[in-house]
Amino acid sequence: MPITIINITFLSGGGIIGFIFGRLWEHFLARRRNIHAAQVSNYIQQHNIFCDQFTSAIQALADSKSSLKEIIIAEFPKHDSSRRTFLKVLSTDKKRLNRFNEKWTEYEKIANEYLNYDNNITLQNAEYFLECAKDPNFIKRLPSDIRDKFAAEFIEIEDIRKKYVKGILESLCDITNRY
C-alpha cells in the first residue's frame, strides 16, 4: 500500500478518534471510581452511626445488675429510628438486607414483649418473680425449697435472655459490616 495523503489522513484520523475514545473511557472509569469511593465512605459512616446506637445497650446487657426490660424500654426506640435511617443505605445489598431483616424481626419480637408489658400476663409474672427473687425480705418469707427454685430459675432465665438479645444486637452490626 503506497503512502498517500488519503492513507495518512485516515491513519491520523483513526489515531485521533482512538485517543479521544481512550480519554473518554479513562474519564468514565475515574468518575465511576470516585462515585464508588463516596458511596463506600457514606456506607461506613452510616454503619458506624448505626452500630454506635447499640453500644450502650450491649454494655448494659453485659452488666448483671441491669434489667432486660429497662434496657429494651430505654434503647429500642433509638434502635428502631437508627434502623430506619440505615435501611436507606443497606437497601442496595439484598442478601445482607434479608439477613438483617431476619435478625431485626427476632429483636423486635422480644422488644415487643417488653414494650407491651402490661398486656402480657406471663411476662408480668416472670418479672414479678424476678424482682421478688432479688428482694431479700420476700425471699426470707418463702419456704427454702421454693425460694431457691424461684431465685435460681428466674435469674437464670433473665441472664439467658440478656445474652440472647446481646447476641442479636452484635450480629446486627456484624451482618451490616461490609467494608
What does the pLDDT look like over 89-118, one tens digit per residue? Answer: 887 778 888 999 999 999 999 888 887 765
Q: Rounded mean pLDDT of the chain?
A: 80
Distance CA 178, CA 95 (A): 12
Q: What are 50-62's pLDDT values in tens digits?
A: 898 888 889 888 8
Distance CA 175, CA 86 (A): 13
Q: Tell me: pLDDT of 131 over 70.
A: no
| Contact (Cβ atoms closer than 8 angstroms) between residue 50 and residue 85 | yes
How far apart, in Å, are the Cα atoms of 30 and each of 16, 18, 69?
Answer: 21, 18, 51
Q: Which amino acid is at 39?
A: Q
How much is the pLDDT for 141?
Answer: 65
Grid coordinates representing 171 are 450480629
**Long-range pairs for 80-86: beta carbons < 8 A, 24 or more residues apart:** 80/108, 82/49, 82/50, 82/53, 83/50, 85/46, 85/49, 85/50, 86/46, 86/47, 86/49, 86/50, 86/176
How far apart, in Å, are the Cα atoms of 142 and each of 3, 14, 122, 137?
Answer: 112, 97, 21, 9
Give the pLDDT band of residue 128 (cuts 50, 70, 90).
low
How much is the pLDDT for 133?
Answer: 59
